[in-house]
Amino acid sequence: MNRAASVDSDEIHGINITPLVDIVLVLLIIFMVSTSVVMKQTIEVQRPTFTDEGMDSRVVPTVVMLSLDADGRLYFDGENVNRVDAATKLRNAHKSDRALRAIIAADSEVGYGDVVRLIDLVRGEGIEKLAVVAFRPE
């Protein structure tokens, strides 16, 4: 009977988290000390300064958005256009800003060939920097 009483007294009624807190605090201290050592090992340099004289005041280059919907309609910055008008608008925009960038978005129902033709249209107008919008499936 004494043996049964001793087995019941060995049950765990709670979790002692003191060792876990101690380990976390030690890791935090190690992290703080190592971070300060890493920061002291950086090389201090004198950064150059510049003026805005003779520079374009725009920081971000011009971006145009070309979209193809599921029915194959083409949109240039939200405006429904045909391919000839899109080429003209791209050419004019590229003439006014040589750093022009294009973003291409197409509906998932649009065929691969249509997207490639749109990329060729953009590249044909001399725009080399372009991005294709894609969404990661959830």
Residue-wise pLDDT for 82-115, tens only, equals 999 999 999 988 888 888 889 888 888 888 888 8
Supply the DSSP string of 16-61, one letter for each residue.
Answer: --HHHHHHHHHHHHHHHHHHHHHHHTSPP--------TTS-S-SSP
pLDDT of residue 69: 86
pLDDT of residue 6: 53
> 39-53, 72-86, 117-131: which range is least confident on average?
39-53
Whether 81 and 75 have beta carbons less than 8 Å apart is answered as yes
CA dist 31 and 135 (Å) reads: 37
Q: pTM of the full predicted structure? A: 0.54
Q: pLDDT tens across 18-66, in order?
A: 999 999 999 999 988 887 666 555 455 556 565 555 555 555 668 888 8
